[in-house]
Homo-oligomer: A and B are copies of this chain.
Amino acid sequence: MLKTLANLKVIFLGTSSAIPTSERGLSSIALVREGEILLFDAGEGTQRSFFKANLGFNKKMKIFISHLHGDHCVGLLGLLQTMSMLERTLPLSVYGPRGLLGFVKNNMKSLKCELSFPLNIKIVAEGTFLEENEYVVRACKGKHFITNYAYALEEKDRPGVFEPNNAIRLGIPKIKWSNLQKDETVTVKGKKIKPEQVIGPKRRGRKIVISGDTRPTLKLKHFLEGSDVAILDSTYFDEHKEKAKEHMHMTASEAMELSSKAGVKKVVLTHFSSRYRDVATILASISKKHINTIAATDFMEINIPYPDELTEKKKE
């Protein structure tokens, strides 16, 4: 089946760790892929950020909770309530670690919140826990006080590029081109022609990893390999590296080092401690070796092109 290109962008809805500031809300990151919202964490204030970012409450959507600390999941309650008030009808799945079901159920009961749509709470295990037509989502345990999952969105390969010149050279009539594009073998003048004779190699989809709260680990490095974009816990900078150990987070340097070892193409640091008032300046002073690293800000949007789109652009 011929696949069209899928738009994919990330919108940062909250980029502060633990305590919000006037500029940074609590953790929440939206990947918007072809109109579907994949929301990673929902800290307090997420529903308000949804309005500000014009995300819509009745869209095709899935939510992934990294871990059950309040600053990563309390916003789920208001989000579910507001979706219901706005009469959401589409089903919603929320994925996360053990304890998520109790957290949501107890609160829906305490707060007398009646949902207008089917809600499925799904407890995550490591590995590929979700497979859709065009992508999978995988989980990897981090190293934090409680179970934390890093998540990876991995798109499946797209078919290779159809080469009309090859088809013409092989004398294939145009009426049969679409069969080849659908990965079917065709017969031309009694001769079998396979799709790979006119279609280039499969093209890799995109991979985006979001770390949640974690120390750097070898396991996470492996999980990061092949990422086009990694959005990483960078609660601290070097001056507080002892605190990073104590509170089970990464420093910006640790996150960059890990991504560099894993060959990540673009790194976006987030989850900054509220003590840092000018993250961009601090980062600029240390990231010279890591030119593909930026610091997230609330409502920053980043389009994520396909790897081969980048290659094409470089060729131009």
Q: How far is the CA of A52 from the CA of B103 in the complex (A)?
A: 29
Chain A: interface size category: 35 or more
Q: Which residue of B lies closest to A79 (CB)?
A: B44
Min C-beta distance of A258 to chain B, whole Å: 26
Is A221 part of the binding interface, using a Cβ–Cβ cutoff of 8 Å? no
Residue of B48, B69, B81, B86 near A70 (CB, 8 A) is B81
Interface centre among A68, A106, A113 (most CB of B within 10 A): A106
Q: Known contacts A20-B51, A51-B21, A85-B18: does B112 contact A78 (CB below 8 Å)?
A: no
Please indicate the chain B residues that have their CB under 8 angstroms from the CB of A13 in the complex: none
Instruction: Tell me if B110 and A102 are in contact (CB < 8 A).
Output: yes
Instruction: Tell me if B25 and A48 are in contact (CB < 8 A).
Output: yes
Q: Which residue of B lies closest to A43 (CB)?
A: B78
Is A41 part of the binding interface, using a Cβ–Cβ cutoff of 8 Å? no
Please indicate the chain B residues that have their CB under 8 angstroms from the CB of A110 in the complex: 68, 99, 102-103, 106
Instruction: Tell me if B68 and A112 are in contact (CB < 8 A).
Output: yes
Please indicate the chain B residues that have their CB under 8 angstroms from the CB of A106 in the complex: 106-107, 110
Q: How far is the CA of A103 from the CA of B74 in the complex (A)?
A: 13
Q: Known contacts A74-B77, A107-B107: does B19 contact A82 (CB below 8 Å)?
A: yes
Q: How far is the CA of A145 from the CA of B25 in the complex (A)?
A: 32
Is A111 part of the binding interface, using a Cβ–Cβ cutoff of 8 Å? yes
Is A205 part of the binding interface, using a Cβ–Cβ cutoff of 8 Å? no
Q: Known contacts A18-B85, A110-B103, A146-B112: does B70 contact A74 (CB below 8 Å)?
A: no
Residue of B18, B20, B22, B81 near A71 (CB, 8 A) is B81
Q: How far is the CA of A85 from the CA of B235 in the complex (A)?
A: 15
Please indicate the chain B residues that have their CB under 8 angstroms from the CB of A19 in the complex: 47, 82, 85-86
Interface residue ranges of A68-125 to B (CB < 8 Å): 68-71, 73-75, 77-78, 81-82, 85-86, 99, 102-103, 106-107, 110-113
Min C-beta distance of A266 to chain B, whole Å: 29
Interface residue ranges of A122-148 to B (CB < 8 Å): 145-146
Is A45 part of the binding interface, using a Cβ–Cβ cutoff of 8 Å? yes
Q: Known contacts A44-B45, A44-B47: does B78 contact A74 (CB below 8 Å)?
A: yes
Please indicate the chain B residues that have their CB under 8 angstroms from the CB of A112 in the complex: 68-69, 145-146
The 8 A-B pairs at the shortest CB distance, nearest first, are namely: A70-B111, A44-B78, A103-B110, A20-B48, A70-B81, A106-B106, A19-B82, A74-B77
Q: Can you give 21 A-B contacts (C-beta < 8 A)?
A: A19-B82, A19-B86, A20-B78, A22-B52, A25-B48, A44-B44, A44-B45, A44-B48, A44-B75, A44-B78, A45-B45, A69-B112, A70-B111, A70-B113, A74-B74, A74-B77, A74-B78, A99-B110, A103-B107, A106-B107, A107-B107
Known: A44-B78, A71-B81, A112-B145. 19 other contacts (CB 8 A): A18-B85, A19-B85, A20-B48, A21-B51, A22-B48, A22-B51, A22-B52, A26-B78, A44-B45, A44-B47, A45-B48, A68-B111, A68-B112, A69-B112, A70-B78, A74-B77, A102-B110, A103-B107, A106-B106
